[in-house]
Amino acid sequence: MQQYRIERLPKREKGRIERWLAVSGPFLAAAAFVLFAFVIKLPFLQDLQAADIVTETAQKAFKELGPERFIRNNEFMLAIFTASLILWLTQSIPNYLTSLLLIIGMVLTGVLKEKTAYAQLGHPVMWLNIMSFVLASMLVVTGLAKRFALWLILRFGKNASTIFISFIIINTVLSAFISATTAKAAILLPIFMVIAAVYGARGGTNRNNFGRSIVLQNLLCINLGAGAFVTGSGANLLGAALIGGAISGSVFFADWMLAMFPFMLGLMFIGYMLAMRVFFPLTPGERLPQIEGGMERLQQEYRSLGTMSRNEVKSAVIFVTILGFWATDSLHGVSPTAVAFLGAIVALMPRYGIVLWNEVDIPWHLMLFSAGAYTLGAGLDATDLPAISVNAFFDHLGIGNETPFWILYLTLTGLMIFSALLFQSKTMRAMIFIPIAIGVANRFGFSVISLALPVAFMIEHVYVLPFNSKPAALLYETDQYSIADSFRFGLTMMVIAWLLNIVAGETWFRYLGITPNGVFNIF
């Protein structure tokens, strides 16, 4: 298992186009900023009136600043947004550095006051991310996550088929607690790679369908599992925060789970069926272990963990307790952030705790990147740029307010899910498309929840191409499958997910009161 640790995997060389983008990115971003800030005067931004503004924050800014300065802030906001997007997409500089640039850019251009811009690092969702990493480190340091995964595989993975089902269960359980898909991939990678080797999958010229299937199914389940819970990833939390701000309320953990858990679990099993029967069917030989005593290696690894330690028991108790409070947050009203805070404090408590601060693995570069994304969100809210742009777009097309709800639903959810083919960052997709959905809902007089939440439910479909997400890039390095393999399987699952989201909008989401005419309104 040691040879499959994340730090031992080879680093993928950038392709020719990626290298060109990395070099040209800063120049393209600078040019975009200058053009939108000082040269191009977009007509729909030049004649803004108070009636064109939707958010309360922007209405207040319009009155305080006056029309001229408010319009100037919108121009700067568009320039910063476009330049940041180019830098994030081209990866010319590290993501966190782009975030730092946009934060100070918002301050220097006057789009946001310093207090507002800098305060985003203290956003409640940021704290939830930090505390979640503390709790995830607790599971990793104590070995509880590894023990659970090995136990489940050894207990139920009696043959090739049940091994895959075991990983569906493992991914689902870990997703409820670990809000980083890359962390889940790092935990599970050594385990499923050992199993792949046992079944004769060595990668490269020795690829077989078992190896293709176990890696691509895990990639799918890592992301789909994250989509089942609002705490499954930072992008989900950001999406929920954006929607919560627009409705002056909250998207509860229990509400998200009720809507998406059965949806995502069903998709995992659809992926399992398609992989095993259509895309990567196993020959009789591939269903049998190719290495004598191969599974015994995992058994030895499991035995080397010894009996369950006191710290593992305490970790399990904290895990179950926090999950219970998260799942019932709509009943007791204590936010997921406050619950995670308490759990992390217990885990870090001197003498009685479980993990030391130096053992906690918090990726601060991701925290800074997220802070930049939240600052961008604050700027969009202060200028109301998404709603103003949406209104101008529909006015230009001559589309009136009589557009049917389902036309908007199909368009917005389709844009969100298929944008994953081009974007690397789930957080950026959430930052772009959820405000657009909010703006469209306000424009056409529908509830924000009815359009923005189904769009947010599409965040985690990032499993088609290696650059679509960090787990996708990581698992591609295993050399167990080709880009053609992941594209065929992933795109099929993406289309199925979108179609099921449409069906859910007419049935399950309508029953829950998310889409119009629901009978059981949880929001």
Enclosing H/E stretch for 328:
none
Q: Are residues 108 and 136 in the same domain?
A: no
* 100 within a domain of the structure (yes/no): yes
Q: Are residues 131 and 89 in the same domain?
A: no
Q: Are residues 97 and 129 in the same domain?
A: no
Stretch among 7-16, 169-178, 406-415 having the lowest mean pLDDT: 7-16
Q: Are residues 243 and 284 in the same domain?
A: yes
Q: Are residues 207 and 90 in the same domain?
A: no
3-state DSSP of 376-437: HHHHHHHHCHHHHHHHHHHHHHCCCCCCCHHHHHHHHHHHHHHHHHCCCCHHHHHHHHHHHH
* 379 within a domain of the structure (yes/no): no
pLDDT in tens, 433-477: 888 898 888 888 889 999 999 999 999 998 888 877 778 877 887
* 32 within a domain of the structure (yes/no): yes
pLDDT in tens, 290-299: 655 556 666 7
453-472 b/e with 16+ CB inside 10 Å = b?
A: bbbbbbbbbbbbbbbbbbbb
Q: Are residues 162 and 74 in the same domain?
A: no
Which among 120, 147, 181 is the end of a domain? 120
Is residue 434 a contact partner of residue 427, using CB atoms and an 8 Å limit? no
**56-65 and 364-383 are packed helices; what angle lies between their axes, rounded to 10 degrees?**
70
Mean pLDDT of 421-435: 80
Note the pTM of the prediction, 2 decimals.
Answer: 0.76
**Number of domains the chain contains:** 2
**Could you give phi then psi for residue 437, rounded to 5 degrees?**
-60, -40
* Contacts of residue 43, Cβ cutoff 8 Å, sequence gap at least 6: 392
* 158 within a domain of the structure (yes/no): yes
* Distance, CA of 230 to chain centre: 9
Q: Are residues 24 and 155 in the same domain?
A: no
pLDDT in tens, 340-369: 888 888 888 887 788 888 878 777 877 787
* 366 within a domain of the structure (yes/no): no
* 465 within a domain of the structure (yes/no): no
Q: How confident is the model at residue 501 (pLDDT cuts 50, 70, 90)?
A: very high
Write out the residue range of the structural domain in which residue 6 sits: 1-120
Q: Are residues 159 and 226 in the same domain?
A: yes
Q: Are residues 77 and 93 in the same domain?
A: yes
Does the pLDDT of residue 136 top 80, yes or no?
Answer: no
* 136 within a domain of the structure (yes/no): yes
Q: How far apart are CA 251 and CA 175, in angstroms?
A: 18
pLDDT in tens, 74-93: 999 999 989 988 887 787 88
Which among 120, 155, 186 is the end of a domain? 120
Q: Are residues 91 and 142 in the same domain?
A: no
Mean pLDDT of 244-263: 84
* 386 within a domain of the structure (yes/no): no
Which among 359, 374, 402 is the end of a domain? 359
Q: Are residues 152 and 265 in the same domain?
A: yes
Is residue 107 a contact partner of residue 56, using CB atoms and an 8 Å limit? no
Q: Are residues 145 and 39 in the same domain?
A: no
